[in-house]
Amino acid sequence: MPLDRKLAIVDLTSGDIEIKAIPLGIRKKFLGGRGLNAYLLLNYTPDDVDPYDPDNVVLLAGGILCGTLASATGRCDVMTKSPLTGLLSSGNMGGFFTPELAHAGFHHILVKGKAEYPVYIFCHNGEVDIRDARDIWGLPVSDTQWAIRQDLGDEEVKSAVIGPAGENQVAYANVMTGIKNSAGRCGAGAVMGSKNLKAVAARGTMDIKIAYPEEALEFNKRFIDQITSAKVNQTMGTLGTPFIWGATNSWGGIRTRNFQYNQTEYADDIEPEHLDEIAEETCGEYHMTACYGCQVHCRAKYRIPDGPYKEVYDEGPEYTSQGAFCGETDTPNAITLLTANHLVDKYGVDNLEIGSIISWAMELNELGILPADKLDGVDLRFGNDEAVIEMIDRICFRQGWLGDTLAKGGIQASDIIGKNSFDYLIQVKGMSNLHSDERATPALALNCALASRGSDHLRSRPAIDLYHLPEPVLRKIYSSPIPYDGPLSSEHTEYIGKPYQVFWHENCYMAVDCLGICKYHTTFLGATLPNFEDWSKVLYYNTGLDMTPEEIWDVARRANMVERMYQLREGLKRDDLRKGDMLNHRYFDEPTRRGAPDVVGRVIDKEKFVKMIDEFYEYKGLDKEGNVKPETLKELDLEKEPSHLL
């Protein structure tokens, strides 16, 4: 049964390995994946531990449905304390690793301590080994995975690995699997590097008994029809996530030159149709690929058509790479995009974070804030394609003063650079904003400020707010599974009703992160995609766990609250610009300068924005300062956390 998958606790210092069953009571409270990881992080990490201290833990987990007959359940949640933010590090990646882990008998791997020399962990059919990785230390991401397969003599082994960026403890290094699947943003790869942990590998041939296999298969057929019939997924299966760029940039929602503009001009070279042409020309007609059990096929296969990396294979690029290496740096060049996308995949570093910090450094240089004698010969200016590529190398290998400084992350770098450099850093809780510009979209701006791990588009973003859906349609979405009779607005520039939308999406995305389902199979981008009612059925048919949609909603609320409890314990304060729920001042002070009529000239009204935060806190069960109310802890059965029950 899926409920039989275990937790393995690996102490790299002592070499001890403990395998534990996950009690049914814990399952019912957190299900698995990100929710159970949050519980384990709160319970297993000491207060205020340094992210690179051996006592910090790294957690890798599949959702409760990973390895079952449920569609698109190959997600992997990676959690630790972040070296980038000093708060929660949580990343979610697709691929094939966690289904293999499930067939090996495990849903959660908790790693603590530090090995004397580089090692990797191997999980196989109920057993866990620690193996020597000295021969593979220094290898790039893809090479590492093939080297582990060769070491084990099995090409079916799947691994979650770090690249050179993680080994060099770049504060935003990723944990990765496959060519490009990345648990990114917060630096979990750097924490693995600090532990001398190169990878966690899995190979399993253990059966997973499905509770009601015929019903599970029949329901999944309907589930797939619902997913593949959605226009947004049909477009994604043709063009990948870059399709978002075309609409967003032409409208005026792409931050450019760090935060000076909100639209990238002369960007035809990186439009999704052109990228699709390159992928088809270099990899053939069937150039779209997918993760485990997914019918969307949202990413392209490509070979770089020109330049120093000509003919090199990779996958993507994603919408985030278009923004990171083209929009923010004002270098809308397809070769630059595909090359940069390949390098971050090769080195194992977060594309969004490294692109943002390079563009921030470009603006600082433009303003004369960066010391000219510290640039190490790099012509660090907007529009310089060569500088973008050069800085990726320098940061990942911490070369020179500038590469080493930027590798520490924005807040630490701003402390080193000094002057007023922090004012130009577009971040929340120490994590850079997505390359989108939310000054015309208060709901999306609120999501950036309030997302649990830092500025984020994957934790509570109500992207469907841009669709101008009729109020009755919105009412149907946001009244399930819990009735909601408050205000709603179809207008994306409005403030009314948006806090509840952000609150609802926060719980929606946590639910699928606990289940192990991809967000593209939810109302993240499509109003007609599966919802809590569907998840209740797919959970029951596959696992036998009988939970109502309302109970799954409660699981999501509880898990989100545990993340909030962890953040508060580690120093989060409501209005703190470094560790709080507040946007950079430029959102309020600098109007947008380009775009459509409903975009140009927009700022976020700070007074209304503060009231939105108050309203969100009330829905979530926090007081005015953002602390958890005692009655909320009681309602969610969290009064005794950390409980150390697992």
Q: What is the CATH number of the domain that holds 40?
A: 3.60.9.10
pLDDT, tens digit, 9 for 90 and up, residues 185-240 = 999 999 999 999 999 999 999 999 999 999 999 999 988 898 899 899 999 999 99
Query: Binning pLDDT at 50, 70 and 90, where does residue 628 land?
Result: very high
Domain C-terminal end among 151, 179, 203: 203
Query: Binning pLDDT at 50, 70 and 90, where does residue 572 land?
Result: very high
* CA–CA distance, 454 with 583 (Å, rounded to integer): 10
Instruction: State whether residue 595 is helix, strand or coil.
Output: coil
pLDDT, tens digit, 9 for 90 and up, residues 152-185 = 999 999 999 999 999 999 999 999 999 999 999 9
The answer to whether the CB of 164 falls within 8 A of the CB of 138 is yes
If asked whether residues 457 and 427 sit together in one domain, one would say no
**338 domain residue, yes or no:** yes
If asked whether residues 416 and 540 sit together in one domain, one would say no
If asked whether residues 319 and 452 sit together in one domain, one would say no
- Confidence check: pLDDT of 446 > 90: yes
Q: pLDDT at position 348, please?
A: 98
**493 domain residue, yes or no:** yes
If asked whether residues 286 and 147 sit together in one domain, one would say no
Q: Fill in the amino acid letter for 518.
A: C
Q: Fill in the amino acid letter for 419.
A: K
State which residues form the domain around 70: 2-203
- Confidence check: pLDDT of 1 > 90: no
**182 domain residue, yes or no:** yes
If asked whether residues 57 and 90 sit together in one domain, one would say yes
Tokens found for residue 26: 């814990």
If asked whether residues 196 and 79 sit together in one domain, one would say yes
If asked whether residues 474 and 597 sit together in one domain, one would say yes
**293 domain residue, yes or no:** yes
**565-589 as b/e: b if 16+ CB within 10 A:** bbbbebebbbeebbbbbbbbebbbe
CATH of the domain at 629: 1.10.599.10
Element (H, E) at 81: strand 76-81
If asked whether residues 116 and 262 sit together in one domain, one would say no
**223 domain residue, yes or no:** no
CATH of the domain at 271: 1.10.569.10
Largest Cα–Cα separation, the chain = 68
Mean pLDDT of 87-116: 98
- Split into its structural domains, the chain has a count of 3
Q: pLDDT at position 528, please?
A: 86
**627 domain residue, yes or no:** yes
If asked whether residues 479 and 426 sit together in one domain, one would say no
**216 domain residue, yes or no:** no
Is the bond preceding residue 46 a cis peptide, omega within 30 degrees?
A: no
**24 domain residue, yes or no:** yes
| Residue whose C-alpha is closest to residue 381's, from 366, 369, 396 | 366
Mean pLDDT of 349-360: 98
If asked whether residues 251 and 279 sit together in one domain, one would say yes
If asked whether residues 250 and 187 sit together in one domain, one would say no
Domain C-terminal end among 432, 462, 496: 432
pLDDT, tens digit, 9 for 90 and up, residues 450-507 = 999 999 999 999 999 999 999 999 999 999 999 999 999 999 999 999 999 999 999 9
Phi, psi of 289 (to 5 degrees): -135, 175
What predicted TM-score, i.e. pTM, was given to this entire model?
A: 0.98
Mean pLDDT of the chain: 97
| Residue whose C-alpha is closest to residue 409's, from 87, 142, 92, 79 | 87
Nearest 5 degrees, angle CA 12-CA 13-CA 17? 50
If asked whether residues 486 and 615 sit together in one domain, one would say yes
Q: pLDDT at position 525, please?
A: 86
Q: Fill in the amino acid letter for 95.
A: G
Q: Are strands 17-20 and 58-62 parallel, antiparallel or unpaired?
A: unpaired
Cα 481 to Cα 33, 475, 561, 562, distances in angstroms = 21, 11, 19, 21
Domain C-terminal end among 432, 451, 486: 432
